[in-house]
Amino acid sequence: MNPTEQQTHSFQAEVREVLRLMIHSLYSNKEIFLRELISNASDACDKLRFEALRDDALLADDPDLRIEIEVDTDGGCLRVRDNGIGMNREEVTEHIGTIARSGTRQFLEQATGDEELDRQLIGQFGVGFYSAFIVADRVTLLTRRAGDAPSEGVYWESAGSGEYTIRQVERPERGTEVILHLKEAEHEFLETWRLRALVSRYSDHIGFPIRFRTEAAADDEGEAPEAGGWETVNQASALWTLPRADLDEDDYRAFYKHISHDLEDPLCWSHNHVEGAQTYINLLYVPSRAPLDILLQRDERRGLRLYVKRVFIMDAAEQLLPHYLRFIRGVVDSDDLPLNVSRELLQENELVGKIRAAVVKRALDMLSRLADEDAERYLEFWDQFGAVLKEGIVEDHAHRERIAGLLRFASTHDSEAGQRTSLAEYLARMPADQETIWYITADSHRAASHSPHLEIFRQRGIEVLLMSDRIDEWMMGYFTEYEGRRFRSIAKGEVGFEPAQAEPGGEDAQPARPQLLERIAEVLGEAVAEVRASQRLTESASCLVLGEQELALHMRQLLQQAGQAVPDAAPVLEVNLGHPLLKRLETEASDQAFTDLAHILHQQAVLAEGGQLDDPAAFVQRLNRVMAGAPAETA
C-alpha cells in the first residue's frame, strides 16, 4: 500500500453512535467544542515542550508555543491551530479515527435517550475532539508531527456521518490545525467577540497564549500569520501558579474542565503553594461524578499531572496518588525535581515520596473539610466514590483512622431512606456500656435491612450498620476496631445476649430441647455444623450463623461463581424455639413431615441470607407437601 495515497475509512460503529448521541445531548452546551479543542492544543504544546527537553531541535525553528484562532467569515470556517507536538499518520488514525476508551460500550449500553441523563453520561465519558461536530458539518484536520519532514503532513477530513478520509500532504509548519466548516445555523461562532468571550470564560488560565488575528491586520497582511497581526486574549499564566487570592471559583471550575475534560463542575478543590525544604504547588480536585469504570480501576490516565518548573512532564497519578484516591484530579508542580525525571526515577525518588505523602494528606483534609462544612455535598461525594475510598482502609494503614472518619453507612437507626451515618455518630448514640460496633454485610441494602439476624437488635434498640457495597465484607476483614470499640458482624458468632423474656401470651424462657435440636441436625447432616437455639431471632424461625472469621455467604457465592476455591465451612443453623414451626416439629409424628420441615427451616435461612439453594426444585416439592399437609407417599 502506498502510504501517500488517499484512503477512506469507516468509523467503528460505536464511534458513529457516540457521535450521534453526543451531538444530540450536548447541543445545549454546544460552545464547549472550543474549550475541548483548546485543551487538546494546550496538551499538544505541553507534550512538545517536554520532548524538547531531550531534543531542543524540535522547537528551534518556532520556539514560541501558542494557540491561534482564526475566523474565515466568507468561507464560514473557524480554525483552531497549535504549534505543538502534532501527529503522524498512525497517530491520526489511532487517536482521531477511534474512540479508544473502555467506557464506550458501557456508555452506549447506559445511554437512555433522555437528554439530561445522556449529557451527564457523555460528560463523564469525555468528548474531546469530536465535540467539533456539534457545530460543524465537516471537520478538516491538518497536522505534522514535530521532527517529521514537511512532506509527512497529514490531512484528515470527515463529515461525522460514518466515514473519514486521510492522506499525506505537504505541511511546512509543525503542529495541528483543526478547521471547522460551521453549520449554517452556527455562524455565531464566526463572531470574534463571541469567541473572545468564550476564551476568557473557559480558557483564560491555560499556560499558553491564545491569539486572535485582528481584523485590520488580517486585511493588511493577508495569509501569513505575522506576529504583528495577532493579539493575545488570555492571561496565559498557568492557573495553579497564581496566588489563591487572585482566583475566583469560576477560574478554578474552568481550569478543572480543561484538565479533566469533564463537563460537570468539580465538587471541591484544594490549592496549595508549599515552600520549605521543598517548593511545590498542588491543585487537587474532586469530580462530581465517578467515571463509569471507576471500580474497574482503569481510567487513570487523566489523574494527576506532574509539572516540573511549569513544564508538563507526565500524568503521574500512579506515582503521586495511592490507588484508593484514584478519583482525584489535578496538578502537582515541583521546583526541585530534575526536568529529565523518568517514570522509573519517580518510583524511588525521595522527593516524590514526600510530595505523595503531602498530596494524600491534602486530599484527606479536603474531604474532611467538605464533610464538616457541607454534609449534603459530602454525601454526593460519598455516593460516587465511597466504595473506592473504602479500599483505603485496607491499603493505607497509616491513615486508617482518618479514612475511617470519612466513612458513611446506612443504619437501622436511619429515619429516612438514603440517610448515612458516620462512625462518630454511631459511637455518640450508643449506650456507654456497649462495647461493640455492630454491622451486617449483604449483597443489597434490602437484604441487609431485612435480615433475620437483625431481629434481636431491633427488639433491643441496638443500632446496626447496614453494609451492602461489594467491598464491605473484604474491608471489614481488616477493619477490626474504631476508637477502641470492636466491630462485629451480627451474622457471625454468638451475639452474647438473649431476647427479652416473655412475650405476652407466650411461654416463659424456652427450655433448651436438646433432642429436638439433635434430631434436626441429624436430618440436615453435613449441610450445617450445628443446630442450636437462637439468641437472635424473635420473629423468624431460623437463620444461619457463621464463625467470626468466616466469609459471609453472599461473598462465598460470589467467589465461587467467579471460579475461585473457597474453603468449606458449614454454617450453624439457629432456630427460634418460640416459633410455631418449631413447636409443630416437636410434636410431629410423621418422619417424612419432620424431614421436610427441617430442610425447609434450613433452606429458608439460606434464602433469607440472599443465598441460592443447591436444589430449588426439591425445596418447592417439600414446601408443597407441607402446605398440602399430604403424606410423602401420595405427593
Task: State the residues that interact with ligand ADP by CB under 6 A.
Answer: 40-41, 44, 82, 84-87, 95-96, 126, 128-130, 176, 261
Report, in Å, the least distance between residue 396 CB and ligand ADP: 30
Report, in Å, the least distance between residue 458 CB and ligand ADP: 51
- Give the residue with the Cβ less far from ligand ADP, 99 or 606: 99
Distance, in Å, from the CA atom of 448 to the CA atom of 389, rounded to the nearest integer, reads 21
- Give the residue with the Cβ less far from ligand ADP, 23 or 529: 23
- Give the residue with the Cβ less far from ligand ADP, 129 or 133: 129
Report, in Å, the least distance between residue 444 CB and ligand ADP: 35
Query: φ, ψ for residue 347 (rounded to 5)?
Result: -60, -40
Report, in Å, the least distance between residue 26 CB and ligand ADP: 14
> In the Cβ-directed half-sphere of 322, how many Cα atoms lie within 13 Å?
22
- Give the residue with the Cβ less far from ligand ADP, 141 or 404: 141
Report, in Å, the least distance between residue 45 CB and ligand ADP: 9
Residues in contact with 266: Cβ distance below 8 Å, sequence separation at least 6, in sequence order:
252, 253, 256, 260, 285, 286, 287, 288, 329
- Give the residue with the Cβ less far from ligand ADP, 44 or 121: 44
Report, in Å, the least distance between residue 85 CB and ligand ADP: 5
Are 304 and 332 in contact by the 8 Å Cβ rule? The answer is yes
Residues in contact with 442: Cβ distance below 8 Å, sequence separation at least 6, in sequence order:
448, 451, 466, 467, 468, 552, 554, 609, 610
- Give the residue with the Cβ less far from ligand ADP, 47 or 445: 47
Report, in Å, the least distance between residue 104 CB and ligand ADP: 12
Report, in Å, the least distance between residue 92 CB and ligand ADP: 8
Kind plus residue range of the DSSP H or E element containing 105? helix 103-110
Residue 365 buriedness (CB in 10 A; 0-12 / 13-18 / 19+): middle
Report, in Å, the least distance between residue 126 CB and ligand ADP: 5
Nearest in space to 130 (alpha carbons), one of 111, 158, 108, 168:
158
Residue 421 carries which DSSP code? B
Angle made by CA atoms 434, 437, 440, in degrees to the nearest 5:
135
Read off the C-alpha cell for 243. 496566588
Query: φ, ψ for residue 315 (rounded to 5)?
Result: -75, 120
- Give the residue with the Cβ less far from ligand ADP, 127 or 328: 127
- Give the residue with the Cβ less far from ligand ADP, 175 or 499: 175
**DSSP per position, 325-339:** GTT-EEEEEESSS-T
Which strands make up the sheet holding 175-182, listed edge to edge? 7-10, 163-169, 153-158, 136-144, 175-182, 77-82, 67-72, 210-213, 230-232
- Give the residue with the Cβ less far from ligand ADP, 25 or 40: 40
Report, in Å, the least distance between residue 199 CB and ligand ADP: 16
Distance, in Å, from the CA atom of 140 to the CA atom of 30, rounded to the nearest integer, reads 19
- Give the residue with the Cβ less far from ligand ADP, 96 or 517: 96
**DSSP per position, 1-29:** --TTS-EEEEPPHHHHHHHHHHHHHHGGG
Report, in Å, the least distance between residue 265 CB and ligand ADP: 18
Query: What beta strand segments (E) does 342-432 contain?
Result: 410-411
Report, in Å, the least distance between residue 260 CB and ligand ADP: 10
- Give the residue with the Cβ less far from ligand ADP, 158 or 176: 176
Are 50 and 12 in contact by the 8 Å Cβ rule? The answer is no
Distance, in Å, from the CA atom of 123 to the CA atom of 25, rounded to the nearest integer, reads 10
Report, in Å, the least distance between residue 177 CB and ligand ADP: 8
CA 172 to chain centre: 43
Distance, in Å, from the CA atom of 384 to the CA atom of 389, rounded to the nearest integer, reads 10
- Give the residue with the Cβ less far from ligand ADP, 176 or 270: 176
- Give the residue with the Cβ less far from ligand ADP, 195 or 464: 195
- Give the residue with the Cβ less far from ligand ADP, 96 or 331: 96
Question: In this structure, is the dihedral angle defined by the CA atoms of residues 495, 500, 505 and 507, taken in order, positive or negative?
Answer: positive
Kind plus residue range of the DSSP H or E element containing 136? strand 136-144
Distance, in Å, from the CA atom of 120 to the CA atom of 262, rounded to the nearest integer, reads 9
Report, in Å, the least distance between residue 106 CB and ligand ADP: 16
Read off the C-alpha cell for 395. 491499603
- Give the residue with the Cβ less far from ligand ADP, 130 or 378: 130
Strands 481-482 and 485-489: antiparallel
Residue nearest to ligand ADP (CB): 128
Report, in Å, the least distance between residue 138 CB and ligand ADP: 17
Nearest in space to 343 (alpha carbons), one of 310, 311, 323, 320:
320
Are 211 and 68 in contact by the 8 Å Cβ rule? The answer is yes
Dihedral, CA of residue 436, residue 440, residue 441 and residue 447, to nearest 10? -170
